[in-house]
Each structure stands twice: as structure tokens, then as C-alpha cells.
Amino acid sequence: MILTVTPNPSLDRTYEVPALDRGEVLRATAERMDPGGKGVNVSRALAAAGRRTVAVLPLGGAPGALVAELLAGQGIEVAPVPVAGATRSNIALAEPDGTLTKINAPGPELTAAESESLLSTVRTQIHAQVHAQVHTEVRTQVRTQVRTHADSVAWIACCGSLPRGLAPEWYAELVARAHHAGARIALDTSGPSLLAALRERPDVVKPNAEELARAVGRPLVTVGDAVKAAEELRTYGAGSVLASLGADGQLLVSDAGTYFGFAAVAAVRSNVGAGDASLAGFLAAGGEGPDALASAVAHGAAAVQLPGSVMPSPADLDPSAVTVTADVPLDRPLTEPAS
């Protein structure tokens, strides 16, 4: 089972428009409403793949209630943390050429009590899954020893920006508590919260090219630059680095080596949640090694060909289109250099 933590979830409305003309009345050709937030998207992708997942997230007001309802409709277990403020609503405008314009609301400001409740809920979920695992083994007389809490919660994916009220060190505290409980952590955040969390040694971090450049404080122009930046993050404390390079593919840098993955995409419809789908594919395939990277690339490539933030199902994946190699093209220029 994979637990996801989304400190700043959202209700996402996506409108497809013929063109984005400023100051004009725009008539949408299609619209979608989805539960949003990076961790939420990871849970949605896992559920679409038939994997069990529990989403921990603060929810408030009518938008929060609708997020919970939409997640339940997708077969996702929700562990809500009630908060006083209303869950944010985001808007995305998608053009036919793949250009996406997003308006993200700031979200509610969490109190100190709500912050602690969010951390406590994660711990409660880990312990609850361990208890359920032990109870099932006793009931069925299976003599498999439960070695650690991670036997029940395979991974905890901590994803997205932090809402107002949570200090940059909040993720570091979550990583420390989760490791103490025996769970492995995949962290997808950026800026000060990423750098603060590295001291607690998350098992996997998943930056995109811009986030990677910001973390090391220098531009990335080639794939080789991205590899060096990922290696630097590992010296700061990251166990493995799964880096999304947009249209140029993905990198995995870990103790087992460095691998590059790529899949050709005929047409990009929407890149909303594509990185989250990649992380879901990576964790669903074990969270380490070239096979997990191939799964991440396949999920990401499928996601960008779907509308809005729709997460790919197994039927949408094309593993034959994915190439993973240890012969990393270090000199290859990035299509969109990260400044």
C-alpha cells in the first residue's frame, strides 16, 4: 500500500479553449473537474493502476467536501484532516497546441494544531496498516514475520507545496517521523522545503529540471548538467534522485547507477499531473532501478496525451515506446534549459 500526503490539495477545473485571447470572452470546448494536488494525483494514478492507496490531506469547506467525494468515486481511501479554511480551487486553460495557463489559488492558512494533526494522521495511518497486516496474518495463520512497518506501507509519497502556516522544515519533520516508523519516503517538493528535508535523508526526491537548477543554484543546459545536479542533491542527503526533464526524458541517479529514460510522444494534450503520474509509476514498480524508471517514463508519456489531469490506466501505457539506458547522453542539450 502506498500512502500519499498532500499538504495543500485543491479542486481543479480545466477548460479546453480554442485560443487564449486576453480581454476576450472565451468559450470552452470541453471542461473537467478533478481533485488536485501532487500527492492526490499520485493516489489517482495508483488507483487507476489498480493499486491500493490512502490519501492524507487537509480538507475544509465545500471545495474540500467535493474533493473527498471525487476521490471516493475513484476508489481512493481518504484520511481527511479537517481544517477551518476552505480548500483552494485552481483553474487551468488548455489550448490545442498543448499550451497550458494555470491559475493556482494560495489555499488556506493552517494553524499549529492543524499542522500537528496532519503529521499525527500520517503516523496513525502507518500504525493502522501495520495492525491490519498483523491481524490478517494471525487470522489466516500465515507465519510471515512482519519485519518493519514498511511491510504494510511500502512508500509514503510527500508531494507539493506547503500551505501558509507550515514552515519550510515541515517536510523534514514528516520525513523524520516516517523513517522512525520504518516507512520509505518519496519527496516531491521544491525550494527551501526540499533543501530542509534533505538533512533527514528522504529515500527518493523527484525534482523537475527547474527545481533541480534552483536547488543547486546554477543553470542546467545539458543532460550532463542535470546528472551533476542530481549527484549534488545526493551529497546533501537524497537517497535517489528521479529527475523529470520534460520532453527530454527522465533521469534516475542512485547507488545502483545512473539511467536515462525516454519515450516519444506524438502529441501533448495536457501536462497537468504528468510528473505525478511518473512518480506513481516509479513507486508502483518498486521505487528503484531501471525497471522502475521505465515505468515512470511510460506513465508520464501516457499522462501528457490525456485531457486535463486525467491519470493513465494500464490500457493507456505503451511500454514498448520506452527506452532506458545506462549510456546517458551527457552532451545532449536540454530542449528547455533550466535557468
Helix (H) or strand (E) holding 224: helix 223-236
Separation between Cα atoms, residue 287 and residue 181, nearest integer Å: 19
Q: Are 170 and 193 in contact (CB under 8 A)?
A: yes
φ and ψ of 259, to 5 deg: -130, 150
Q: Are 202 and 187 in contact (CB under 8 A)?
A: yes
The residue from 34, 151, 248, 276 that is catalytic is 276
Residue reference for cell 497550458: 100
- Note if 276 is an active site residue: yes
Separation between Cα atoms, residue 301 and residue 277, nearest integer Å: 9
Separation between Cα atoms, residue 226 and residue 232, nearest integer Å: 10
φ and ψ of 56, to 5 deg: -100, 125
| CB neighbour list of residue 228: distance below 8 Å, 6 or more residues apart | none
Please list the residues that pair with 100 across neighbouring strands.
Answer: 94
For the annotated catalytic residues, the residue numbers are 276
